[in-house]
Structure 1
Amino acid sequence: MGSKYTKRYTEEFKRDAIALVDSSGKTVTAVARELGISSESLRGWYRRAEAAPGEGAPGELTSAEREELRRLRRESREQQQTIEILKKATAFFVKESDR
């Protein structure tokens, strides 16, 4: 998915970096430079955190809701596949019983 050079940061690190921006009075770019991370990454985390306190603007899904939606869509897809298999099996056994 990502390149082999993509760094992954823990949620705790992201929260601490966002808190540092809020508490230090420094710009996102300055804090990112101090931490040795991309200012665009920190800016994205900061924007998501701003939208998340009350968990988003009207019409936006929270991260928990997005995860649940992904899970439900996956389950739905699996159930649709199961239904198709069962339909085919039913048709097969109906034909076999007519012989």
Structure 2
Amino acid sequence: MEWTSILAIYVLFWVISAFIILPFGIRNHAETGVEMVKGQADGAPVNFKPGRVLLYTTLLATFAFILFYFNYTNHWVTVEDIDFFGSIERIRG
């Protein structure tokens, strides 16, 4: 696998992990009892910590990518293993 492919796949894992991690631990003003600033959205987070999000996102993405890469090199799960409807035979003709 080329290093550019590895980088592109890791970035995809990182972005997906960011969307998974973002909602955890976020509280808005109604939940914390903090007074809102004029013009602020009702759902705006009070305790957003970008460093924590970046760290957890990187950890999750790295773990997921390592699993992906080991599966890629060792062929633990292949397309044939998850082809429940016989699509490969129909495609190959």
Instruction: Tell me the TM-score normalised to structure 1 length.
Output: 0.28
Larger radius of gyration: 1
Relative contact order, higher structure (CA 8 A, sep 6+): 2
- Give 1 or 2: higher helix fraction: 1
Instruction: Tell me the TM-score normalised to structure 2 length.
Output: 0.30
